[in-house]
Amino acid sequence: MSKLRVHCFSMSVDSYSAGPNQDLDNPIGVGGLAIFAWQFATRTHHQKSGKDGGATGIDNDFVARGFEGVGAWIIGRNMFGPVRGPWLDDNWKGWWGDNPPYHTPVFVLTHHPRASFTLSGGTTFHFVTDGIHSALEQAVKAANGQDVRLGGGVDTMRQYLSVGLIDEMHLAISPVLLGSGESLLQGMNLSRLGYQLTKHVPTPNATHVVLTRPT
């Protein structure tokens, strides 16, 4: 049975997973890129970005694990891009260029219909307008027995987390203070939702925490 997994979801020490005022120059909000510095430095991230080099070790192991056994993704519209409201045209194809790192079907939550399209490497973006349960159902079917990975943004994560649909969640707490932005866990009672801490691994760049919800 497919699981819904979260990997490499970074947050600051003061619990923000995105900074304020997202735009083209600040795709994760002002200051938000700093909480992903641990991930950007890894070999797996370099490879997915078409670059050489990068660090190995524990941080890299967590990044690599996030691509293993994943047959589809779900992301929110904010993660797909900064465009708001109805799609005025089809020019925006995402932040990642012609060859996004997903290489699977990706289901984008949105309130505004848009036709699916395929980019290099086998990434096909589908736009889902009828909610999180429909997106999960479609992603599970597309994953064909593999797991589904849930990406950001924060609002998308909170929607799935608040109803206990996430089976496994890897959070990376970066040694950064943002001061404001979007908080993943504010108002969430993870214990009541059934989540348990199953792994805790500190590195010089981040503290990795894995939460699971027994099924």
Q: How confident is the model at residue 205 (pLDDT cuts 50, 70, 90)?
A: very high
Contacts of 119 (CB under 8 A, 6+ apart): 93, 94, 98, 99, 100, 125
Kindly tell me if the per-residue pLDDT of 10 is higher than 90.
Answer: yes
Residue 215 pLDDT exceeds 80: no
For residue 151, what are the contacts with CB-CB under 8 A and spacing of at least 6? 73, 74, 75, 76, 79
pLDDT tops 90 at residue 83: no
Domains contained in the chain, number = 1
Say if 145 falls within a structural domain: yes
What burial class does residue 28 get, using C-beta atoms within 10 Å of its C-beta: 0-12 exposed, 13-18 middle, 19+ buried? buried
Mean pLDDT of 62-69: 97
Q: Is 203 exposed, middle or buried (0-12, 13-18, 19+ CB in 10 A)?
A: middle
> Is 92 inside a domain boundary?
no
Integer angstrom CA distances of residue 48 from 37, 74, 86, 137, 204: 15, 18, 30, 27, 23
For residue 35, pLDDT over 90 is answered with yes
β-pairing verdict for 105-109 and 70-76:
parallel
Spacing of C-alpha 88 from chain mean position: 25
Question: Does 60 reside within a domain?
Answer: yes
8 close to 66: Cβ distance less than 8 angstroms: yes
Confidence of residue 146 (pLDDT cuts 50, 70, 90): very high
Q: Which helix (H) or strand (E) holds 148?
A: strand 147-150
Q: CA-CA distance, 39 to 106, in Å (whole number)? A: 21
Is there a contact between 53 and 43 (Cβ–Cβ < 8 Å)? yes
Burial class (CB in 10 A: 0-12, 13-18, 19+), 156: buried
Average pLDDT, integer, range 193-208: 97
Of the candidates 174, 153, 172, 155, the one whose C-alpha atom is nearest the C-alpha of residue 12 is 174
CATH code of the domain containing 11: 3.40.430.10
pLDDT single digits (tens) 102-120? 999 999 999 999 999 999 9
Cα 36-42-46 angle, rounded to 5 deg: 100
Cα angle value 191/197/203 (rounded, 5°): 140
Domain that holds residue 105: 4-83+99-212
Mean pLDDT value of segment 13-28: 87
Residue 144 lies in a domain: yes
pLDDT averaged over the chain? 94
Share of the chain above pLDDT 70, in %: 100
In a domain, 171, yes or no: yes
- Residue 189, pLDDT score: 94
User: Would residue 168 count as lying in a domain?
Assistant: yes
**Percent of the chain at pLDDT above 90?**
84
Relative orientation angle of helices 154-162 and 132-143, to the nearest 10 degrees: 90
Q: Write down the pLDDT at residue 22.
A: 80
Q: Is residue 170 part of a domain?
A: yes
Q: Looking at residues 35-60, what average pLDDT do you find?
A: 95
pLDDT score, position 152 = 86
Question: Looking at the domain assignment, is residue 50 inside a domain?
Answer: yes
